Amino acid sequence: MTRGFNTYCVCPQCRGELAEFTDTLYCDACKKSYEIRGGIPILLPEYKEDKDLREHYLQNYNKIAEDDLEKPLVQGRDNLLHNALINFIGDVRDCTVLDVGSSNGLYLAQLDAKMKVAADLALPYLNNVLSHTDIMPICCDAEYLPVKIKLFDVIIISDIMEHLLHPEYLVNLLSQECQPHTRIIVHIPWEESLEQYKGCAYDFVHLRSFTTYNFRLLFWSFYITREKSSLPLMSDPIIFQLSRFLPKKLFNLLAYTYFMTDLKHIEYTYRAKWIEEIPKKERWLLWFYKPQVKMFELRRHKYQYRYLSMLSPLIARWWGKIKSAKERTATP
């Protein structure tokens, strides 16, 4: 009996249509076949380069999934991250939703959508997803995302971009195939120090940190419709977040007072309480503390800014004049 995987899956190797049999998906275009294991299609490509690295990467994330399912690696994940993400995603009734890097589908299970597909590299996570009967799991590599992207109204990319070996592969695929109306929801750590991951028990944990520049560099063919900061970084006292707002003399006096009086104990007591209560008071805390997480809703540029076809020659001509002037100045 077939289960309709070929209605939303494609070949990860050539993106050709798949024919579904009892326990196999077959691509007539490139003659590749893919196993359906325990109700989960295993749509992993044949890597032409870095095969050993890719195998180690896969084993690493299977191990992470097994350990995370046994005991959550991030404590309070629902309260700190998932609830904020679900609120940011909003109403998805009558929508088709694809969750790329779904892990065990905790927040996807809470969304009321017409169709929900969970895509993840780690099979242990997807076996757990099967307990949610309304979620269709796919074992795949996000960099070779084997789905019919045009079918989806909402694509969620949560806490995965920092883990990918080549995140540009996924973004380029979305840019080529998603519809202009498709909502791309991205949830990423923001301006994060990677020092904390040195000596980590797992490999390939957080491979990069995101800033405004490198995030936009990656998603240059998309425009941002909404963004929201979350989870203030409260490791330092709030007083030292005020240096950018106060005159230097006033800040010097405040810092001296902090160290010479009980103000440091009072501040620590309140800060510990605020940390314990997050996400309560998060909105105003983010005025003073940097966010650890940012959420974006993006859409593909529909018209690709047609005025650039006129502007580009003007910029090139202007730059040519500057270079010529510099060369004349440099010539003795």
For the segment 48-61, what is each residue's pLDDT rounded down to a tens digit? 888 999 999 999 99
Q: What would the two tokens of residue 178 be? A: 């998603």
- In this structure, the answer to whether residues 97 and 200 fall within a common structural domain is yes
Count of domains forming the chain: 3
Residue 315 inside a domain? The answer is no
Q: 82 with 225, same domain?
A: yes
Give the separation between CA 317 and CA 323, rounded to whole angstroms. 10
Q: Let me know if 135 is exposed, middle or buried by CB neighbors in 10 A (0-12, 13-18, 19+).
A: buried
Same domain, 83 and 220: yes
Mean pLDDT of all residues in 13-36: 94
In this prediction, residue 331 carries a pLDDT of 63
pLDDT at 125 > cutoff 70: yes
pLDDT at res. 299 = 95
Q: Quick one: 154 and 116 in the same domain?
A: yes
Label the pairing between strands 291-300 and 183-189. Answer: antiparallel
Do residues 34 and 12 share a domain?
A: yes
pLDDT band at 1; cut points 50, 70, 90:
very low
Instruction: State both tokens at 225.
Output: 């419709």
Same structural domain, 133 and 277 = no
Same domain membership, residue 204 and residue 111: yes
Mean pLDDT lowest among 68-77, 134-143, 152-161, 201-210: 68-77
Q: Are residues 9 and 78 in the same domain?
A: no
Low-confidence winner among 197-201, 223-227, 324-328 (lowest mean pLDDT): 324-328
- Angle between the N-to-C axes of helices 263-277 and 248-260, in degrees from 0 to 180, rounded to the nearest 10: 90
**19 & 94 share domain:** no
CA distances from 95 to 98, 109, 133, 245 (A): 10, 14, 17, 44
55, 114: one domain: yes
In a domain, 98, yes or no: yes
**What CATH number does residue 59 fall under?**
3.40.50.150
Give 205: exposed, middle or buried? Use CB within 10 Å, 0-12, 13-18, 19+: middle
The per-residue pLDDT for 78 is: 61
Q: Which domain holds residue 18?
A: 1-43
Indicate if 168 and 79 belong to the same structural domain: yes
Question: Can you tell me the mean pLDDT for 122-143?
Answer: 89
Whether the pLDDT of residue 221 is over 60: the answer is yes
The confidence score (pLDDT) of residue 141 equals 96
Tokens of 23: 């326990």
Choice between 262 and 325, residue whose per-residue pLDDT is larger: 262
204 and 269 co-located in one domain: no
